[in-house]
Chain A
């Protein structure tokens, strides 16, 4: 006797099976558990790695997966070198922590994670446009935004010096536990504050090198003027009034900062603030955390707050890390299961707590953890760090250019180089012409 299956029944069964496959947690079958090798970013905050270690071990014990974790530092670009090597060899870890631009750089070697991203967005809320820009290629989600390592490089300023020399009460503009009242916090106010603090002997310290901190800050100011070097369609837009305005602004700003800022790296601004020589830097709370340990009298005067608003809006640099799965991984289902586990609210909260508020989840409903509200001194200093009232656009330097071009602009520090050239006396049009030829070079495929 033959049992006939109708077309409708077949479609129903297939749909149920697909849903179950996507929605169900990774279930260990007799031979499915296997091994999983993870390459996490080695956190600079002492003890912060323990959060991911504990979470992974919990998951591994439950799912009976044999897990190995390597913590790979970004210092000396060891993580970038490892990514390049594994991508070339098509062998290595199963899951890797990719810095912002890397998912696009290795898109062909990454397993799509649309299934888990759709679920995570439903569960945790939307991700911002910068995460989508960096983590998605067409319809393919390349990787899952990671809590560990993701950061906003917002302003961190001295409460006392701003009040005394610039007449600005930062805690009033950005009150702890409440929405910002930052309408008066504009680029003009920012420039006047920079001048006042410079005159008082406490200059702002924003680098103009080619490392990430310098490039990110420049990018946010360029966005505030609507200045892009390449638009989303790939057209070169270097010779525009917006770019000219951004360069003019930066030239003025640079005149109120130390003359050696073109040589600054990502440690220079931290040192500048912690030493007590400066009134302001652009950084995640790492400088504050170091000051809390090494210079508590400085730390208790630090306030993390939002960017000044420009003609085209208020933009803050957001640098997400991603957890990606190599397409050559032999255990993709287990890797996806682990990434879902690491992206739950409770997991993210543990990571944020372990990093003292430094790490930043990308999902909309994850900006109100108690760590940011309670960390101090001064209490509430990190309240505005995760942009809880969504009053600034989280952006990345060189966007909205197509990521493969934007990555070159970012890595080469093209915006900061243009600023330094103009600042050191090169005529505006010559700087723009140079910038244009550089961008033309980045267009090659």
Chain B
């Protein structure tokens, strides 16, 4: 009774406010915002704060006592090793993403054509590389590529061929890190493309077949356009992740020999943590951010535009 009386008094005192609040809570967008708020806070804490802190660090001098503006970046631009790392990161990321996308696309078609009752088994097997933490699986690869005791070399020697300096020669070392990245990342493309393939309506293929389209034309005019958004998103996502790769290179070659396999993350670690120059390390790790951000904006805008056209 008393509670009821109090609530009545409150309602009478702030009717407009209560109604406004209720109306706001009834809005779908408000509910959505409230439900995503914990995630937004988490991202703010674990992603945005470190990102801005890294920007702050990149503007300090080596002893982190004075503001130097963009001096760290101008210093890097004059370093031969920096441009070598830029080149290598691009070679590493672009080659790996292209091969991951191609292998993922081809294998997704194979799995899609496997009878439905056996598909689950194949999906499980093919996903194994992706579910093993890359630092762990790279250790296994390290044993296979070991400078002196490589299992691959053992096979080559038994076949009468010369052993290969997998991690000792710059070109083989680059090949090795790209190979592992492709091995690890291709299943992600496979599973995304497989999902996309399953969403293409069969009627489209039937119509194309009636129109006399061959296998290649069906791929080119039906499958690829229907998968365009998924391909764009997976390529974008994978490019960002591959550019930021650390564990595979660090475990396999640690950037060697003579820096020929360093990528941004491993070189930033070498300069910042091992070399005690945290501002310079932060500058290296931030270098790709604007380039990737612009790519992301264009690709995502393109996807949204196509989405709007479709609807």
- For chain B, what secondary structure do more than half of its interface residues adopt (helix, strand, loop), or is it mixed? loop
Query: Can you name 8 extra interface pairs (CB under 8 A) apart from A80-B274, A258-B148, A438-B81?
Result: A258-B147, A260-B165, A265-B254, A268-B147, A411-B270, A421-B258, A444-B62, A444-B75
CB pair B148 A259 closer than 8 Å: no
Asked whether any CB of chain B lies closer than 8 Å to the CB of A337, the reply is no
Give min CB distance, A324 to chain B, whole Å: 15
Q: Which residues of B contact A263 (CB under 8 A)?
A: 147, 165-168, 173, 253, 256-257
- Given A408-B275, A445-B62, residue A262 in contact with residue B168 (CB < 8 A): yes
Asked whether any CB of chain A lies closer than 8 Å to the CB of B216, the reply is no
CB pair A411 B147 closer than 8 Å: no
CB pair A408 B168 closer than 8 Å: no
The contact size tier of chain A is: 35 or more
Asked whether any CB of chain A lies closer than 8 Å to the CB of B61, the reply is yes
Interface string of B148-180 (1 = CB under 8 A from A): 110000000000000001111000010000000
B273 touches which one: A77, A209, A277, A438 (CB < 8 A)?
A77
Hey, which bits of chain B sit against chain A, CB under 8 A? 61-63, 75, 79-81, 147-149, 165-168, 173, 253-259, 270, 273-278
B278 touches which one: A84, A260, A275, A438 (CB < 8 A)?
A84
CB pair A260 B167 closer than 8 Å: yes
CB pair A268 B148 closer than 8 Å: yes
Q: Which residues of A contact B270 (CB under 8 A)?
A: 411-412
Among B79, B148, B273, max chain A CB count under 10 A is at B148
CB pair A272 B275 closer than 8 Å: no
Closest 4 CB pairs of A and B: A260-B168, A263-B168, A260-B147, A262-B257
CB pair A264 B81 closer than 8 Å: no
Q: Which residues of A contact B63 (CB under 8 A)?
A: 108, 445
Give min CB distance, A99 to chain B, whole Å: 10
CB pair A411 B275 closer than 8 Å: yes
Cα separation A420 to B166 with both chains bound (whole Å): 16
Cα separation A13 to B90 with both chains bound (whole Å): 70
CB pair A411 B167 closer than 8 Å: no
Contacting residues of chain A (145-171) with chain B, CB-CB under 8 angstroms: none
Q: Which residues of A contact B275 (CB under 8 A)?
A: 407-408, 411-412
Give min CB distance, B270 to chain A, whole Å: 7
CB pair A408 B277 closer than 8 Å: yes
Q: Which residues of A contact B278 (CB under 8 A)?
A: 84, 88
Q: Which residues of B contact A272 (CB under 8 A)?
A: 148
Asked whether any CB of chain B lies closer than 8 Å to the CB of A35, the reply is no
Interface string of A76-91 (1 = CB under 8 A from B): 0100110010001000
Q: Which residues of B contact A64 (CB under 8 A)?
A: none
CB pair B167 A417 closer than 8 Å: no
Give min CB distance, B179 to chain A, whole Å: 16
Among A84, A260, A408, A445, max chain B CB count under 10 A is at A260
- For chain A, what secondary structure do more than half of its interface residues adopt (helix, strand, loop), or is it mixed? helix
Give min CB distance, B84 to chain A, whole Å: 11
Q: Which residues of A contact B254 (CB under 8 A)?
A: 209-211, 265
A417 touches which one: B80, B149, B259 (CB < 8 A)?
B259
Q: Which residue of B lies closest to A272 (CB)?
A: B148
Q: Which residues of B contact A438 (CB under 8 A)?
A: 81
CB pair B257 A271 closer than 8 Å: no
B258 touches which one: A77, A84, A265, A420 (CB < 8 A)?
A420
Asked whether any CB of chain B lies closer than 8 Å to the CB of A125, the reply is no
CB pair A77 B274 closer than 8 Å: yes
Asked whether any CB of chain B lies closer than 8 Å to the CB of A126, the reply is no
Interface string of A396-418 (1 = CB under 8 A from B): 00000000000110011000010
Cα separation A438 to B148 with both chains bound (whole Å): 30
Q: Which residues of B contact A296 (CB under 8 A)?
A: none
CB pair A264 B147 closer than 8 Å: yes
Cα separation A411 to B257 with both chains bound (whole Å): 14
Give min CB distance, A414 to chain B, whole Å: 10
Q: Which residue of B lies closest to A420 (CB)?
A: B258
Q: Which residue of B lies closest to A434 (CB)?
A: B80
Q: Which residues of B contact A108 (CB under 8 A)?
A: 63
Cα separation A117 to B273 with both chains bound (whole Å): 29
CB pair B257 A209 closer than 8 Å: yes
CB pair A445 B258 closer than 8 Å: no
Q: Which residues of A contact B81 (CB under 8 A)?
A: 438
A sample of 14 inter-chain contacts (CB < 8 A) reads: A84-B278, A108-B63, A211-B254, A258-B148, A260-B148, A260-B168, A261-B168, A264-B147, A271-B148, A271-B149, A275-B149, A408-B277, A411-B275, A444-B61
- Given A258-B148, A271-B149, A444-B75, residue A417 in contact with residue B273 (CB < 8 A): no
Among A108, A209, A211, A268, max chain B CB count under 10 A is at A209
Q: Which residue of A lies closest to B63 (CB)?
A: A445
Give min CB distance, A197 to chain B, whole Å: 16
Q: Which residues of A contact B273 (CB under 8 A)?
A: 77, 80-81, 84
Q: Which residue of A lies closest to B76 (CB)?
A: A441
Contacting residues of chain A (422-445) with chain B, CB-CB under 8 angstroms: 434, 437-438, 441, 444-445
Asked whether any CB of chain B lies closer than 8 Å to the CB of A105, the reply is yes
Cα separation A277 to B147 with both chains bound (whole Å): 13
- Given A272-B148, A411-B275, residue A262 in contact with residue B258 (CB < 8 A): yes
Q: Which residues of A contact B256 (CB under 8 A)?
A: 209-210, 262-263
Q: Which residue of A lies closest to B61 (CB)?
A: A445
CB pair B79 A420 closer than 8 Å: no
Give min CB distance, A265 to chain B, whole Å: 7
Interface string of A237-273 (1 = CB under 8 A from B): 0000000000000000000001111111100100110
CB pair B165 A259 closer than 8 Å: yes
Cα separation A400 to B119 with both chains bound (whole Å): 65
Q: Which residues of B contact A277 (CB under 8 A)?
A: 148
Q: Which residues of B contact A412 (CB under 8 A)?
A: 270, 275
Give min CB distance, A64 to chain B, whole Å: 37
- Given A80-B274, A263-B257, residue A441 in contact with residue B147 (CB < 8 A): no
Q: Which residue of B lies closest to A211 (CB)?
A: B254
Q: Which residues of B contact A434 (CB under 8 A)?
A: 80
Cα separation A314 to B57 with both chains bound (whole Å): 43
Q: Which residue of A lies closest to B253 (CB)?
A: A263
Cα separation A417 to B170 with both chains bound (whole Å): 13
Q: Which residue of B lies closest to A269 (CB)?
A: B148
Q: Which residues of B contact A420 (CB under 8 A)?
A: 257-258
Cα separation A430 to B148 with both chains bound (whole Å): 30
Q: Which residues of A contact B61 (CB under 8 A)?
A: 444-445
Give min CB distance, A409 to chain B, whole Å: 10
Q: Which residues of B contact A209 (CB under 8 A)?
A: 254, 256-257
Give min CB distance, A314 to chain B, whole Å: 29
Q: Which residues of B contact A268 (CB under 8 A)?
A: 147-148
Q: Which residue of B lies closest to A441 (CB)?
A: B79
CB pair B168 A411 closer than 8 Å: no
